[in-house]
């Protein structure tokens, strides 16, 4: 299947690579000419601009936009809408606010252009592991791009099947889900990222408690000098708190237990704020998610070991080089 891809950064470029390896044809464009040239050399079809990208796709066209949320995505989708035809599909795979998806889909509906939002999780590991995707849009549009989604998804792999799922949508076991109408995919991904904040914060606080057990403020006979890398490693093996985030923490701690490359100033990319906003709108108590978000705000004033671990986890799963010391 053909797919146009706009935005060839950490995730967009690897999405093109994974699709090409699966036998799909990708037409690629980015403002960064070097990125376009690199992907072209790897078997993708380079485009010189948006018009050239549209011209190289057969109808009905499908174009995946993988750009930062806000202005860059908004402008690109508006430009594409003026170039595309009824039956074509615009896919937003970035971290867009779900209410913007709802608005865009309504604006595009009279033109006959379909709008699909794909909340995409997998970070820099997606090329190898695949991407977990949460998809919003009409059934027809989502079904049309199913070969693309299936190729990007991780597949069932070695994860045991959940008992009692007979008769349910088998795509979910492959790692992607049609959540509902436009906006629902990014809404599910937004809450996913809010939960991610809370999980990361729990690990960060726990490891800081472990590390400070040798504090001089404690009685000498109550001090322990604990190996953080080994604690992370043993918890990976059969513990109820094992997870991919713990795996990534173990990688970072084994490399440098002091996490000296991570000052601990932790960014937030928007989804945590939006999740808390949704909780307020729905009158849902979300103490953990809210506290995790506020801790990221505070981390920009002074930094703890736990916040260094948050930075390390973000680097491991997403390649975020926030504030690396040199």
Distance CA 183, CA 57 (A): 26
Q: Which strands sit side by side in the sheet containing 62-65, from one edge to the other?
A: 45-46, 25-29, 2-6, 62-65, 89-92, 114-121, 132-136, 176-180
Kindly report the number of other CB atoms within 10 A of residue 33's CB atom. 11
User: What is the 3 state secondary structure string of the chain?
Assistant: CEEEEECCCHHHHHHHHHHHHCCCEEEEECCCHHHHHHHHHCCCEECCCHHHHHHCCCCCCEEEECCCCCHHHHHHHHHHHCCCCCCCEEEECCCCCHHHHHHHHHHHHHHCCEEEEEEEECHHHHHHHCCEEEEECCHHHHHHCHHHHHHHCCCCCCCCCCCCCCCCCCHHHHCEEEEECCCHHHHHHHHHHHHHHHHHHHHHHHHHHHHHHHCCCCCHHHCCCCCHHHHHHHHCCCCCCCCHHHHHHHHHHHHCCCCCCCCCCCCCCCHHHHHHHHHHHHCCCCHHHHHHHHHHHHCCCCCCHHHHHHHHHHHHHHCCCCCCCC
Q: What angle do CA 166, 117, 274 make, to 5 degrees?
A: 100
8 Å CB contact between 156 and 132 = no
- One of 33, 38, 109, 196 is an active-site residue; which one? 196
Query: Which candidate in 33, 37, 42, 189 is catalytic?
Result: 189
Is 189 one of the catalytic residues?
yes
Please give the Cα distance from 286 to 275 (Å, whole number).
9
In tens digits, what is the pLDDT along the chain, a chain of 326 residues?
A: 999 999 999 899 999 999 999 999 999 999 999 999 999 999 999 999 999 999 999 999 999 999 999 999 999 999 999 999 999 999 999 999 999 999 999 999 999 999 999 999 998 899 999 999 999 999 999 999 999 999 999 999 988 999 999 999 999 999 999 999 999 999 999 999 999 999 999 999 999 999 999 999 999 999 999 999 999 999 999 999 999 999 999 999 999 999 999 888 888 888 999 999 999 999 999 999 999 999 999 888 777 888 889 989 999 988 887 755 43
């Amino acid at each position: 299947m053909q797919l146009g891809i706009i935005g060839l950064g950490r995730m967009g470029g690897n999405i093109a690579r994974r699709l090409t390896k699966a036998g799909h044809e990708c037409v690629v464009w980015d403002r960064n000419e070097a990125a376009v040239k690199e992907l072209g050399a790897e078997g993708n079809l380079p485009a010189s601009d948006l018009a050239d990208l549209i011209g190289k796709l057969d109808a009905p066209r499908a174009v995946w936009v993988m750009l930062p949320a806000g202005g860059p995505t908004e402008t690109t989708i508006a430009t594409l809408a003026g170039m595309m035809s009824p039956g074509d599909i615009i896919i937003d795979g970035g971290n867009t606010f779900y209410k913007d998806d709802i608005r865009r889909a309504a604006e595009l509906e009279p033109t006959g252009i379909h709008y699909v939002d794909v909340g995409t999780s997998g970070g820099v590991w997606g090329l190898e592991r695949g991407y977990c995707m949460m998809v919003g849009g009409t059934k027809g549009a989502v079904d049309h791009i199913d070969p693309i989604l299936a190729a990007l998804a991780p597949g069932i792999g070695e994860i045991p099947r959940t008992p009692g799922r007979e008769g349910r949508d088998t795509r979910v076991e492959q790692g992607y889900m049609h959540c509902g109408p436009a906006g629902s995919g990014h809404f599910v991904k937004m809450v996913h990222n809010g939960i991610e904040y809370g999980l990361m914060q729990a690990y960060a606080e726990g490891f800081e408690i472990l590390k400070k057990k040798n504090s001089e403020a404690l009685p000498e006979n109550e001090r322990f000098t604990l190996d953080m890398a080994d604690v992370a490693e043993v918890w990976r093996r059969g513990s109820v708190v094992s997870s991919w985030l713990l795996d990534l923490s173990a990688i970072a701690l084994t490399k440098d237990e002091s996490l000296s490359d991570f000052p601990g100033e932790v960014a937030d990319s928007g989804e945590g704020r939006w999740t808390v906003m949704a909780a307020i709108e729905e009158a849902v108590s979300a103490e953990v998610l809210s506290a995790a978000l506020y801790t990221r705000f505070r981390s920009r004033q002074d930094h703890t070991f736990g916040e260094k671990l948050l930075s390390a986890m973000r680097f491991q799963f997403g390649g975020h080089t926030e504030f690396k010391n040199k």
